[in-house]
Amino acid sequence: MMKQECIMVYNLRDFDERPYFEEYTGEYGLSMVTTAETPTPENATLAQGCRYVNIITTPADRPLLEALYQQGTRYIVTRTIGYDHIDLDAAKELGIRVANTPYGPDGVAEYTILLMLMCLRNMTSIRHRYLGQDFTLKGLIGRELSQMTVGVIGTGRIGTRLISMLTGFGCRTLAYAPHPNAEAKKHAEYVSLETLYRESDLITLHAPANAETTHMINEDALAQMKNGVILVNTGRGALIDTAALLHGLDTGKVGGAGLDVIEEESDLYYYDRREELLHHRDMALLNSYPNVVVTHHMAFYTRQCVETMVRDSVRGIVADIQGLKNPWRVC
Ligand code: NAI
């Protein structure tokens, strides 16, 4: 029975994901059809006869879900932790089951610390100067993480892991989440959002993007923060109102930002756009600030995370085929 099941894999990267897909579909006796293309209503026909479709962070809106449903798709797994790019209401109405892939939190937590340190040590300016053969020091003096009060918003798997890693730096750590957890409580003090905004020198975001969290960092939130606050976002671009952030950078309210994710990134990130005019003005502006570091949604990108995301996306499908409880189902 397993052999008859086919997985349609979109956006497959040959250079890192394919060997893992071959290993795990082989292990479970599944067949797969693959494409490097992003799923669209037009290329949904590639999934013809495949009940299982495997995607990344590209939007899965109602027209795409309807087109896939017509091809026989009944289950979509995103080999990512976030699933805000999938229209869950449409999926539910159509009867398409949705799963995500919560791979280990270490890769993203470590990358978050990287961005924090890059901001505190003015790494964007250092690299610009160095590459321009300007080896002066003036204006590049850094700050030490040990002296900071760090505010962590969202204490799920990644936020909690980050909090435990931060103990090694000796900083004071504040945390906010609707549902505090005991592990994070060991190393951080849970406070209200208002207190976190007021007392943190550096704020890092680890909440999912949803209706409640979209633009949670807006003019109003920024006004409550310390002057010169550093913002780090490895969560989702939607958490920050980019216009408010740009204004904050202009006025000095925001003293630095480390952004692995930005709004409206999905048409750009992971594509080679070298020969094209890009129409993402906010991204161009963000990259023009010497105290901002922007990366293209890379925090997850470690060998360990990639293997686990492929493995568990396949294991969730196997659980579904076998009628077992699937720990990664989101709807
Ligand atoms: P999780 O589901 O374990 O934790 C989410 C946390 O956010 C929970 O503590 C939850 O209580 C909290 N939360 C929910 N609503 C909130 C609100 N309104 N305000 C504050 N906190 C709120 O998720 P996990 O695995 O820790 O991942 C967090 C996010 O990181 C994902 O949703 C995803 O968007 C992002 N991510 C980014 C990656 C990257 O490469 N940049 C890679 C992996 C995940």
Whether the pLDDT of residue 299 is over 50: the answer is yes
Q: Could you say which of 51, 97, 206, 297 is catalytic?
A: 297
Q: What is the pLDDT of residue 49?
A: 93
Ligand 1 and 207: CB distance under 6 A: yes
Q: What is the pLDDT of residue 236?
A: 98
- What is the distance in A from the centroid of ligand 1 to the CA of 155? 7
Ligand 1 and 39: CB distance under 6 A: no
- What is the distance in A from the centroid of ligand 1 to the CA of 68? 28
62 given a catalytic annotation:
no
Domains annotated for the chain, with CATH where assigned, are: 6-103+302-322 (3.40.50.720), 106-294 (3.40.50.720)
Q: How confident is the model at residue 135 (pLDDT cuts 50, 70, 90)?
A: very high
Q: What percentage of the chain has pLDDT greater than the value 90?
A: 99
Q: What is the pLDDT of residue 227?
A: 98
Beta-carbon-side half-sphere exposure of residue 149 (alpha carbons within 13 Å): 16
pLDDT tens digits, residue range 21-50?
Answer: 999 999 999 999 999 999 999 999 999 999
What is the number of residues in the chain?
Answer: 331
Q: Which amino acid is at 309?
A: M
206 given a catalytic annotation:
no
**Averaged over 179-206, what is the pLDDT?**
98
- What is the distance in A from the centroid of ligand 1 to the CA of 135? 40
Whether the pLDDT of residue 2 is over 70: the answer is no
Q: What is the pLDDT of residue 16?
A: 98
Q: How confident is the model at residue 4 (pLDDT cuts 50, 70, 90)?
A: low
Q: What is the pLDDT of residue 9?
A: 98
Whether the pLDDT of residue 3 is over 70: the answer is no
pLDDT tens digits, residue range 57-92?
Answer: 999 999 999 999 999 999 999 999 999 999 999 999
Whether the pLDDT of residue 305 is over 70: the answer is yes
**Pair of tokens at residue 140:** 């590049």
Q: What is the pLDDT of residue 228?
A: 98
Q: What is the pLDDT of residue 31?
A: 96
Collapsed DSSP state (helix, strand, coil) of residue 22: helix
Ligand 1 and 206: CB distance under 6 A: yes
Which residue in 123, 179, 124 sits closest to 154, CA to CA?
Answer: 179
Q: If you write DSSP's letter for every residue of 62-86 in order, what string do you get?
A: HHHHHHHHHTT--EEEESSS--TTB
Q: What is the pLDDT of residue 186?
A: 98
Distances (CA, A) of 263 to 94, 268, 269: 28, 11, 11
Q: What is the pLDDT of residue 8?
A: 98
- What is the distance in A from the centroid of ligand 1 to the CA of 156? 6
Ligand 1 and 177: CB distance under 6 A: yes
Distances (CA, A) of 189 to 127, 165, 176, 181, 198: 35, 15, 9, 11, 14
- Structural contact between residues 101 and 76, judged by C-beta atoms closer than 8 angstroms: no
pLDDT tens digits, residue range 235-280?
Answer: 999 999 999 999 999 999 999 999 999 999 999 999 999 999 999 9
Ligand 1 and 115: CB distance under 6 A: no
Average pLDDT, the chain: 97
Q: What global pTM score does this model have?
A: 0.97
pLDDT tens digits, residue range 155-174?
Answer: 999 999 999 999 999 999 99
Q: How confident is the model at residue 1 (pLDDT cuts 50, 70, 90)?
A: very low
265 given a catalytic annotation:
yes
**Averaged over 102-129, what is the pLDDT?**
98
Whether the pLDDT of residue 108 is over 80: the answer is yes
